[in-house]
Each structure stands twice: as structure tokens, then as C-alpha cells.
Structure 1
Amino acid sequence: MKTTSKHDERMTKMTFASVYPHYVTKVEKKGRTKEELHQVIEWLTAFDENMQQKLIDEKVTFEEFFQKAKLNPNAKLIKGVICGYRVEEIENPLTQKVRYLDKLVDELAKGKKIEKILRD
């Protein structure tokens, strides 16, 4: 699925720190915990809670965030639509990784079991 170059550039420059509070709000509003959010982020990126906080404090862009990440090999199993895009069809690698994260957060907020979200 094609995304626009403007959309892809926005993903590149956006900071993890600017989006993280929205993730927390989204999952907590639906009765999930920040710990579960950290678990999901760690599964995708291999960043433990301390590293996640360090990246927030450093205000890294999503480009830097995913350059440092060790993407879970099972990330390719993340499928579905998020923000109007089918994640498995997104052609820009960085945009796809950001949308993988968005999809996992969405699944957590919708009450999906952690075991299913983690796709292990």
C-alpha cells in the first residue's frame, strides 16, 4: 500500500516522546496498564522499560528509534488496518514499523490478550 512521501516524512521526524503519552492514555482509558504497554513495546523493539524511558528523555525521532531497535522477527505477523492503512502492505519500511507499533497498541487497548498480541 502506498503512503505519500509527506506522510512518510512525518513519520521520520515525529518523536517517540511525542506519541508515547497518547499510547499510555489510550491503553489506560481501556483498562490496560502502562506495564502491559511496555511489554508490547519491548516485544516489538527489544527495548526494556529503562531504555524506553531513555529514548523518551532523549526525544529520539521514530527514525532513530527504529534504527536502534532489534525488530522482533515475528513482527511480520502483525496484520490488519490501522489509521486507514493495511500494515502488511505498507511499502516504506519505517512507516510500516511505526504502524506495527500503532497496531499493537490498538490491539492492547481493544482488550486483546497479551499472548495473542505478542505473536510468539
Structure 2
Amino acid sequence: MKIKLFPFLTNDLLEASVKGDVITINRETIDLSGIPAGYRLPGSAVGNRFFLDTDYIERVDGVLNFTLLLPVHWDSPEESRNPAEPIIIDIQSGAVPFPDTTPPIAPIVELPTFIEEPENGGFEPA
């Protein structure tokens, strides 16, 4: 399978695995073996929210090609939210290695501690 990823702003999680012509997305099994060479099926026909509705699932040279929505956050790394080149994963079997779209952790900035001195500058009255 060749899976093209389309960044999509959402809080949904995406996990997938592939075995032959079957893809399992978040524990939902989708059998794509019925798509013959030279034919295509609209992504919307699968009924899974991660398939891009406006793209097609097609078999080219024996390999299934389709586009999945890649969950990203507003503060995910730029290369995930707006990749320079389309992200394409070529996989035959196993867990789909999606890119890490986890937003970076903001650095912890420690503020300086100020010690208040008495108004007289530390002098004691005589």
C-alpha cells in the first residue's frame, strides 16, 4: 500500500496497521481486496473518517494507493502541518509508521528569585 497523508487539524488519534490488502484504522478493519487493477473507488465510499473523501482508492501496478487524513494540532511541527513534499508511506505489512505530530513541549523558564532587603539597605538603627 502507498498511503499519502493529508494534514488535518483535529484532536483525533490515528493508529493503523496493514496486512495484505486489509488496513485496520483505530480497530476498524477495512478490506480493500475487492478493488481490481485499473479501477478506483471514492474515499467517501469506505465510510471511515480518515479516508480523504475527495480522493480515490485505486490499484496501480498491483499496489493500493489512497490518502488518509493525518491528525495535526495548531502547534504541531511545521513539517507535519505543511510539508514541502507530500508524505507518502509505502508499507506491505505491520504498523503504519505515521510521523510524530506531537506539539513540542514549551521550555520551562525559571524566573529569578528576588530577596527583598529592608528599606534602610540592611543597616540597623544605633
- The answer to whether the superposition gives a TM-score over 0.5 is no
Query: Which protein is bigger by CA-based radius of gyration?
Result: 2
User: Larger helix proportion, structure 1 or 2?
Assistant: 1
Structure ranking higher on relative contact order (CA contacts 8 Å, 6+ apart): 1
TM-score, normalized by length of structure 2? Answer: 0.25
User: Larger strand proportion, structure 1 or 2?
Assistant: 2
TM-score, normalized by length of structure 1? Answer: 0.26
